[in-house]
């Protein structure tokens, strides 16, 4: 196959970061991420692990240097380690990093294998360490396996970053204590503003917490220094002085980060979304099944032309979600 050009969108942004949802299924039901009664995709409609690998390798051939696996919960997909092992084979040959966002429930079983495949860090979604609050936010979850999974990841040698969605009235009083715990455990922490994706039972305005207000409170309790660290994503970082802990902020509403967007998202059913907040996409499942990798390249070229300049998120009271699909479908 002829060498295809690097992926650069119509706004001059190089696409070097691919996020891949390997499954829409999850063993939790977080309130901001999915509806209580989700309808999941039948197996026939999702990309096979072989198709996911082939598409990812085509991205790598065209200049993508970072791949993050997500879901749903990626580790609930049967034989997912086959995909992770194969992606690991590309490390040092165009791919700089393969990593994952997980809810942590399955990490005790998989942490050693992830490290063996070449993974060096992982993001774990944890919005509360309080068992009752965790159970409320996740609808059915037990926080104990998550805490144990974090320990297992560290024991295996993975650098762990906690992702915490800041939710007014749910976990806002725990943010400072979460940061203190991360310092004690030598973990990083990234705080994320809730995003209006998919219809959920509650009005998101009820729980939207601007990170500008969170930072004002934290700076009164911690000695925070600006850190120029970049992980390839949209987070801006601070460091808790005198510690190894970084604090990241992802603020899609109060601090738009779209000018430097370098990423696209592939869903488990093969739709390549160019922006979380828009519906523009190309169908890579149809492309690879009907025309092979040449058709995938053609679809990627079309995608570069329609990637929007920015999202249009809003959490005004009563506002409809930016898009109808849930975060769990697109990939976290």
Contacts of residue 328, defined as CB under 8 A and 6 or more positions apart, other chains included, come to 24, 26, 33, 34, 38, 71, 72
- How far, in whole angstroms, is CA 162 from its chain's centroid? 12
194 is in an annotated binding site: no
Any binding-site annotation on 129?
no
Consult the annotation and say whether 204 binds a ligand: no
DSSP secondary-structure letter at 14? B
Residue 129, number of CB atoms within 10 A of its CB: 17
Report cis status (omega within 30 of 0) of the bond before 72: yes
Q: Is 161 annotated as a binding residue?
A: yes
Question: Is residue 215 part of an annotated ligand binding site?
Answer: no
Of 251, 252, 169, 163, nearest to 207 (Cα)?
A: 169
3 marked ligand binding residue: no
Q: Is 232 annotated as a binding residue?
A: no
115 is in an annotated binding site: no
Determine if residue 31 is labeled as part of a ligand binding site: no
265 assigned ligand-binding residue: yes
Torsion (CA) 20, 5, 234, 65 in degrees, nearest 10:
60
Report how many helices (DSSP H) and strands (DSSP E) the chain contains, helices first: 9, 12
Q: Which residue in this structure is represented by tokens 């970061």?
A: 17
Annotated binding-site residue? 119: no
**Does 19 belong to an annotated binding site?**
yes
Residue 159 pairs with which residues in a beta bridge? 121
Q: Is 182 annotated as a binding residue?
A: no
Tell me whether residue 43 is annotated as binding: no
Does 58 show up as a binding residue in the annotation?
no
- Asked if residue 261 belongs to a known ligand binding site, the reply is yes
Q: Please provide residue 93's backbone torsions phi and psi, each rounded to the nearest 5 degrees.
A: -125, 50
Q: Using alpha carbons, select from 104, 91, 97 the residue that is nearest to residue 67.
A: 97
**∠ at Cα 95 (228, 234), nearest 5°?**
35
Binding site residue list for GTP: 19, 68, 101, 161, 263-265
Binding site residue list for [4Fe-4S] cluster: 26, 30, 33, 258, 261, 275
Binding site residue list for S-adenosyl-L-methionine: 32, 72, 125, 195
Binding site residue list: 19, 26, 30, 32-33, 68, 72, 101, 125, 161, 195, 258, 261, 263-265, 275
């Amino acid at each position: 196959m002829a060498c295809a050009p690097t992926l650069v969108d119509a706004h001059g942004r190089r696409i070097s970061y691919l996020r891949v949802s390997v499954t829409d299924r999850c063993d939790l039901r977080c309130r901001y991420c999915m509806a209580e009664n989700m309808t999941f995709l039948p197996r026939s409609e999702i990309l096979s692990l072989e198709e996911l690998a082939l598409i990812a390798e085509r991205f790598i051939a065209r200049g993508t240097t970072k791949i993050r696996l997500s879901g749903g919960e990626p580790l609930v997909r049967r034989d997912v380690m086959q995909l992770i092992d194969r992606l690991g084979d590309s490390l040092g040959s165009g791919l700089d990093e393969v990593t994952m966002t997980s809810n942590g429930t399955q990490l005790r079983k998989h942490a050693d294998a992830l490290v063996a495949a070449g993974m060096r860090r992982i993001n774990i979604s944890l919005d509360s360490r309080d068992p009752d609050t965790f159970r409320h936010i996740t609808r059915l979850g037990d926080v104990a396996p998550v805490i144990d999974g974090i320990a297992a990841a560290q024991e295996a040698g993975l650098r762990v970053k906690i992702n915490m969605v800041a939710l007014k009235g749910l976990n806002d009083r725990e943010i400072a204590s979460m940061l203190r715990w991360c310092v004690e455990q030598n973990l990083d922490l990234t705080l994320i503003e809730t995003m209006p994706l998919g219809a959920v039972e509650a009005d998101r305005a009820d729980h939207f917490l601007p990170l500008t207000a969170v930072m004002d409170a934290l700076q009164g309790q911690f000695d925070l220094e600006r850190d120029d660290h970049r992980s390839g994503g949209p987070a801006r970082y601070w460091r808790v002085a005198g510690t190894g802990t970084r604090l990241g902020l992802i603020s899609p509403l109060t601090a738009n980060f779209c000018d430097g967007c370098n990423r696209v998202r592939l869903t488990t059913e093969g739709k390549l979304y160019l922006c979380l907040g828009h519906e523009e996409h190309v169908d890579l499942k149809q492309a690879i099944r009907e025309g092979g990798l040449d058709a995938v390249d053609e679809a990627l070229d079309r995608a570069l032309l329609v990637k929007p300049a920015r999202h249009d998120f809003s959490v005004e009271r009563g506002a409809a979600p930016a898009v109808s699909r849930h975060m769990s479908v697109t990939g976290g």
